[in-house]
Amino acid sequence: MGQKHLNSIKVSHEKHTSGCATEIMAIPETVCISMSQHIGAPCEPLVKKGDYVKVGQKIGDTEAFVSAPIHSSVSGTVKQIKTMRNVMGGYDQMVEIETDGKQEVSEDIKPPEINSLEDFISAVRASGIVGLGGASFPTHIKLNPKNLDECHDLIVNAAECEPFITSDHRLMLENADAIIDGVLAVMKWLKLERAHIGVESNKPDAIENLRKEIEARGHSNDITVHVLRSRYPQGAERVMIYEILGKTMKAGELPAQHGVILSNVTTIAFIGQHLKTGRPLTTKRVTVDGSAVANPKNIIVPIGASIADVIEACGGYKGEPRKILMGGPMMGRAIYSDEQPIIKNNNAILAFNFEGDAKRFDIKEETSCIKCGKCHGACPFDLLPVAIASAYDQRDAKKLDALQVMQCMECGSCSCICPARRPLSFINKMAKGVVKEAQSK
């Protein structure tokens, strides 16, 4: 398109597991499946203590509009319905299942019959799929905007810009057929004209593999693989749309308002697989890495497996873990216990020990701001983090709004680049709360 690139930063890739073929985890003794695995209303359990469940059986749902059903990843007996603190500090309902190792599949699983857009959207919802790139927004809603007739482009976000994570990379190498199946299905039923797959330049093997699959299918004219810069935060929704189509999307706007349907590559691949098998979302490919992990790898795990069990499947810990992250080091969440279960949008578990990489991710002592402007130069949306921090100190909602703090997507670039080690991204998050509170009055 020839447009100017958005601001970005260079982060260390640390893609240690990119050459590790995906393995499949053995079924653990128990799983705890959360009823809160998407943005929107949590599901209500459809099972009770003592019930026998099968793989793919629906065990949670709600009639709320923004929601997606939840299915059992194992066969076994419901041990209890319990409440457990989540990584955000709130509490979720959990269906705890004692597995029997048989992995009996539910009789309800069969490929969906699709003859219309309505059938397609219904099948997507029934599958339980949500955005698997981190946002966990129910996919059936994203694929059915009110202005669908104005949408012409599908963007598949295959930019894996966080350090360490390689699960999407392995997907592109191992399941390119499912990705293209999903792309073609979405294009067909949504009547989209073009598809764009955005992949960073540090994955040349994935780029080549996707292009070969597209050419073999005879779709080189309507499906394009775009080679993107290996910069952070290349995988952010608004950054991706700008880099591929040159369209500027403001905070609060949806891709459909710019004629775009955008989805993560793993979500698209799952749709392609589901239409063939009818199997709902019950497993997740996860990168497990970090200095505290004995055998880092990419591994397919049952949703609801504890992080402790996943780590054990990777040889266990080598040294006491000092910090464990769900996700990457830029936008992932530090967890308080490895008993936390895997949920739908987990794409990585990173564990760091005392002697190794954990020191890099510790909160360092803050020093005085020298007004160097690096934070501004790193922000994809040209925000002024230092000015925002000053306005936040004054709780000046009007000034914060004028500084467009609501445009911040909390990517962490400003905090990462700051030589004074100021927690600018977190300050922006708190500042947005000040604006929201003022607007609610």
In a domain, 182, yes or no: yes
Whether residue 358 is predicted with pLDDT greater than 60 in this model: the reply is no
Look-up of token digits 């793993």: 266
Domain termination residue (choose one: 342, 362, 382):
362
Beta bridge partners of 388: none
Q: Which pLDDT tens digit goes with each residue over 52-87?
A: 999 999 999 999 999 999 999 999 999 999 999 988
Q: What percent of the chain has pLDDT over 90?
A: 88
Nearest to 267 by CA among 181, 395, 374: 181
Residue 151 one-letter amino acid: C
pLDDT at 204: 97
The backbone torsions φ and ψ at residue 139, rounded to the nearest 5 degrees and listed phi first, read -65, -35
Label residue 62 left, alpha or beta by phi (over 0 means left) and psi (-120 to 50 means alpha).
Answer: beta
Compute the average pLDDT of residues 418-439: 93
Write down the pLDDT at residue 1.
40
Reported confidence tier of residue 134, pLDDT bands at 50, 70, 90: confident
Please determine, for residue 148, whether its predicted confidence score (pLDDT) is greater than 60. yes
153/287 same-domain check: yes
Q: In whole angstroms, give the CA distance from residue 266 to residue 345.
A: 10
Ramachandran angles phi, psi of 352, nearest 5° = -120, 140
How far apart CA 91 and CA 63 sit, in angstroms, is 21
pLDDT value, residue 140: 97
Show which of 311, 335, 362 is a domain's final residue.
362
The pLDDT assigned to 86 comes to 86
**Res 2: pLDDT:** 45
pLDDT tens track for 292-347: 999 999 999 999 999 999 999 999 999 889 899 999 999 988 999 999 999 999 99
The dihedral formed by the CA atoms of 195, 199, 201 and 203, expressed in degrees to the nearest 10: -130
Same domain for 130 and 231? yes
Residues 166 and 274 in one domain: yes
Distance CA 93, CA 42 (A): 9
CA atoms of 202 and 13, how far apart (whole Å): 9
Domain membership of residue 423 as a residue range: 374-440
Alpha carbon of residue 365 to chain centroid:
30
- Shared domain for 259 and 178, answered yes or no, is yes
What is d(CA 127, CA 238) in angstroms, rounded to the nearest whole number? 27
Q: What is the tally of structural domains in the chain?
A: 2
CB atoms within 10 A of CB 398: 10
Query: Which domain-ending residue is among 341, 362, 383?
Result: 362
For residue range 104-115, what is the model confidence (pLDDT) as tens digits? Answer: 999 999 999 999
Do 212 and 167 lie in one domain? The reply is yes
- Whether 356 shows a pLDDT value over 70: the answer reads no
Shared-domain flag, residues 354 and 417: no
CB 73 within 8 A of CB 31: yes
Residue 73 placed within a domain: no
Nearest in space to 282 (alpha carbons), one of 52, 17, 59, 44: 59
337 lies in the same domain as 414: no
Segment among 197-201, 205-209, 366-370 with least mean pLDDT: 366-370
Band of pLDDT at residue 360, cut at 50, 70 and 90: low
What pLDDT is attached to residue 380?
93
Instruction: State residue 365's pLDDT score.
Output: 84
The residues with which 351 forms a beta bridge, in sequence order, are 324
* Range with the poorest average pLDDT among 122-131, 220-229, 328-337: 328-337
Angstrom distance (rounded) from CA 175 to CA 270:
10
Using the predicted structure, report yes or no on whether residue 363 has a pLDDT greater than 70. no
Q: What is the pTM of this model?
A: 0.94
Calculate mean pLDDT across residues 189-196: 98
pLDDT beyond 60 at 33: yes
**What is the tally of helices (H) and strands (E) in the chain?**
14, 17
- Whether 25 maps to a domain, the answer reads no
347 and 386 share a domain?
A: no
Do 2 and 131 sit in the same domain of this protein? Answer: yes
CATH number where 173 lies:
3.40.50.11540
Query: DSSP code of 161?
Result: -
Distances (CA, A) of 205 to 23, 57, 170, 201: 19, 37, 10, 10
- Please state, in angstroms and rounded to a whole number, the distance separating the CA atoms of residues 154 and 426: 32
User: Quick one: pLDDT at residue 274?
Assistant: 98
Query: 203 and 110 share a domain?
Result: yes
Per-residue exposure over 103-127, b if at least 16 CB sit within 10 Å of its own CB, e if not: ebebeebeebebeeeeebbebbbbb
Q: What pLDDT, in 10s, does the model give residues 251-289?
A: 889 999 999 999 999 999 999 999 999 999 999 999 999
Residue 180 scores a pLDDT above 80: yes
* Bridge partners of residue 99, in order along the sequence: 76
